[in-house]
Amino acid sequence: MRLIGFLAFAAIVLTAIAWLRAPEYDEAYSIFLTAGHARPAWPTGIFTAASVRALYTGHASFAQIAHDLRQGDVHPPLYFWGLDIWRGIAGPSWFAARLLSVLFSLTGLYLLARLAKAADIPVYPALFLTLLSYGFAYTGIVARGFALAQLCNIAGVYLLFLALPQKRWRLALAAALAAGAAFGAACFTNYLAVFTGGAALLWLLLTRPRLMPAALAGFLPLLPACAWFFLAQRHTRTGQFAVFAPAHALGLLAKDSGAAIFGGLPLYAGRFSTPVTLALAVLLLICLGCALHRRHPHARLFALLTIAPPCGLFALGLIFGNTPIEIRYLAFSTPFLALLLAPAALAPALPRVPLAIMLATQTAAIVGLAIAPATMQPQARAAHQAAAYPNALVELPYGNDGVGIPGPFIATAPDNMRIKLLHPGAVAQTQAIVVTLAIDNESREIALETGCPLGVALCRPR
């Protein structure tokens, strides 16, 4: 009964965040891909927002989604196939698409509760530490595949725990097989989820090697499918990440790993951001110390699963020469960090105080995630600003590929807003309202050409 209450609370929190946050750049790829318009055919001249609403509401087949992903994206198809089915049931709205991620997140939290119980870890501290982690909550509501990949990884680790007793050998083999399949499904949802599954399988090899063949039998069949997509996609977004530099990558790992737990709290602190960052780091270390002092038998496993994504991202950057380090990928660590920290709740009264402070601090970060403009992308805010100029022509950057900038902006714009999309080199009209959004290379170029300041701005071209 307590678990039902927690899940109801989590549903309210995640649904509220999904409703309050503005549409995002990458979400537009999910919307248009499943609507059958991976790269929307926007009108070349002036059009109204109402005239292009149909681009958001179509339907794509599984084959078309697979084809479009191989031609111009960097993700495998499992989530998008699921989203395509879901939008046919729940409707084509942006919010409805986000609700699928909310459902995946709630299922993941349920399985995390079962995993904590199986591992003899305090269930509700682990659940609250996970839900209130900025990275988990953020990736748990966006219309992308992170929540599904997270769910699959949690399911895989839980199934491994079911296989451990080995009192009934056939059931242990079946659980190990299912665990491997769950890790494979996570990879078929997001390639970078492989670090968690790989770490879990490594642990299985070292502790229960007899179960490894069954786990591999579940895991390996999906790898050729992942490779079929990845090999076709590997050159589609060559400039997506910065060039790799070890010192820069380590600094980014530290910054984004902290943000995955505590969000943008240092950002809100202004000139006190450095002491706030240090205080948060000390708080995390104290909580880790209190938890590890309990000497939980599975602490090494959860520590391995926590460090696997950051170590994997660093290794990936070292191999391919770029820096794929972002909060959304580091969020794969958050449930396992919560399981690592939760035993601190079993400590005597005084050592439990840092854990309570950490939960309160995370709550503040989650409030910021829901309502703080600094945590949101600017397209929707710019659309609201542009709507203050009734009947004006609004000129908007087309962006790199006509998806991430026009998609969220037009989705938020009023039906009667007159819009024209600008490409680099185009001449903005003197009487137009030019929206400058420094989000990708082409939008920055347009802002410089028009003489308008970078950032979120509305101005008349010079």
Domain boundaries, the chain: 2-38+73-375, 379-459
pTM over the 0.85 mark: yes
pLDDT of 457: 57
153-184: per-residue pLDDT in tens? 999 999 999 988 767 888 899 999 999 999 99
Distance CA 50, CA 260 (A): 37
Distance CA 385, CA 413 (A): 10
How do strand 47-48 and strand 393-397 relate by DSSP bridges? unpaired
Q: What percent of the chain has pLDDT over 90?
A: 65
Q: pLDDT category, 328, cuts 50, 70, 90?
A: very high
Torsion, CA 96, CA 97, CA 103, CA 106, rounded to 10: -110
pLDDT, position 75: 93
Q: By percentage, how much of the chain surpasses pLDDT 70?
A: 93
Is the distance from CB of 157 to CB of 130 less than 8 angstroms?
A: no
Q: Residue 440's closest CA among 402, 387, 389, 408?
A: 402
Q: Decide if 393 contacts 433 (C-beta within 8 A).
A: yes
pLDDT at 428: 62
pLDDT of residue 430: 61
Mean per-residue pLDDT, 447-458: 65
Q: Is pLDDT larger for residue 272 or for residue 233?
A: 233
Contact 140, 147 (CB under 8 A): yes
Place of tokens 């701005």: 457
CA–CA gap between residue 221 and residue 215 (Å, rounded): 11
Q: pLDDT-derived band of residue 190, with 50, 70 and 90 as boundaries? A: very high
Confidence band of 446 (pLDDT split at 50, 70, 90): confident
The mean per-residue pLDDT over the stretch 328-349 comes to 89
Among 10, 5, 26, 70, which Cα is nearest to 407's? Answer: 26
Residue 368 pLDDT grade (very low, low, confident, very high; cuts 50, 70, 90): very high
Task: Give which of 167, 166, 150 is closest to 214, Cα–Cα.
Answer: 166
Select, from the ranges 36-40, 154-158, 258-262, 356-360, the one with the highest average predicted confidence (pLDDT). Answer: 154-158
Note the pLDDT tens digit of each residue in 68-111: 999 988 899 999 999 999 999 999 999 999 999 999 999 999 99
**CA dist., res. 15 & res. 141, Å (int):** 8
pLDDT in tens, 191-231: 999 999 999 999 999 999 999 999 999 999 999 999 999 99
pLDDT at 52: 96
